[in-house]
Amino acid sequence: MASRIKTLADAIVSAITAFPSLPDGVQVMHVGNVEHLVNDLPTDVTATIAVIISEIEDESLRGEVADAVTLGVVTIANLASTGMIHVDPWYELTDKLRDHFRSSTSLKTVDVGNSLSACRNKVETPVPCDADILNEDEVFISVTTLRYTISIGNR
């Protein structure tokens, strides 16, 4: 079970890492939680994009066994350390990534091994950063969620 989910998360990390509009100095990683990234964001890194598995639900129906997997893609930029106190580039990156997740055919269905695929159902940004509360001492944080269904087999 965990290997399918980890494979899916790693595929999302690879897709973000290869994204042509990714600014220089942005690190992309699969993490267990993002709290330490907010508290300990390295000063030599422009930003971190963290992929976190936020929820796994049983989506089994009468004749099929399936999991619904929700992944969070969290963009964290330390505005003070990057010298980029304007948040517009980070909003634009959030929008571009969300559009990429929705339009990329390679992310619509992801091979997760053992002849199984994860099919994307939903892409949304439930936590856009609030620019009104930012100043040069704060971080920009936005979250985009991706929801995939992995059909495991028949009952």
Residue with tokens 């994009």: 49
Please tell me which residue, 122 or 154, carries the higher pLDDT value: 122
Say whether pLDDT at 56 is over 80.
Answer: yes
Query: pLDDT tens across 66-116, in order?
Result: 999 999 999 888 776 655 556 778 888 989 999 999 999 989 999 998 889
- By percentage, how much of the chain surpasses pLDDT 90? 45
> What ranges do the domains of the chain cover?
2-154
For residue 136 the two structure tokens come to: 């040069």
Q: Does residue 23 contact residue 89 with C-beta atoms inside 8 Å?
A: yes
At the top level of CATH, the class of 2-154 is alpha beta
**Predicted pLDDT at 144:** 93
Contact criterion met (CB below 8 Å) for 152 and 66? yes
CA within 13 Å, CB half, 94: 23
Q: From CA 4, how far away is CA 19, in angstroms rounded?
A: 23
Window from 41-45, 97-101, 141-145 with minimum mean pLDDT: 41-45
Query: Which H or E run contains 108?
Result: helix 105-108
